[in-house]
Amino acid sequence: MMIKIGSLLAVGILSLPAYAAYAATTGPHSPVAGVLCDKYICADEHGLSVALTTKYVGKKQGDKLAAAGQFDTTAFTFQGGLFCDTTERLCRDDRYFGPDGKRSGKVNTHYTALLFGKTDKS
């Protein structure tokens, strides 16, 4: 019995790096066209949405988003760092700025297309 437990423990420990790598590479998902969600929030081309968050993530997270009060819902960051701006109609790999004061994150064309459809900007 001790060998089985030890073996299971070793397998579990050895699989942690693989799971961490998987978790780090998974980004938002699109439950329907024009909507992106992570495990906390959902957004469409207009910005963060309490209704969509409640529908696709759950009432608890929808209530948390609603409880945040009034804030700019047009620019947001998903778990994992993907940043989307509905004014720019772009999603970027991060939300940081360059020395010139402009957004420096690489445009993520995959998530931009999922959220906003085909765009001319790239």
Q: Give pTM, 2 decimals.
A: 0.74
- The pLDDT tens digits for 31-66 are 999 999 999 999 999 999 999 999 999 999 999 999
- The pLDDT tens digits for 59-104 are 999 999 999 999 999 999 999 999 999 999 999 999 898 899 988 8
Give DSSP secondary structure letters for 70-112.
S---SEEE-TTS-EEETTTTEEES---B-TTSSB-SPB-HHHH
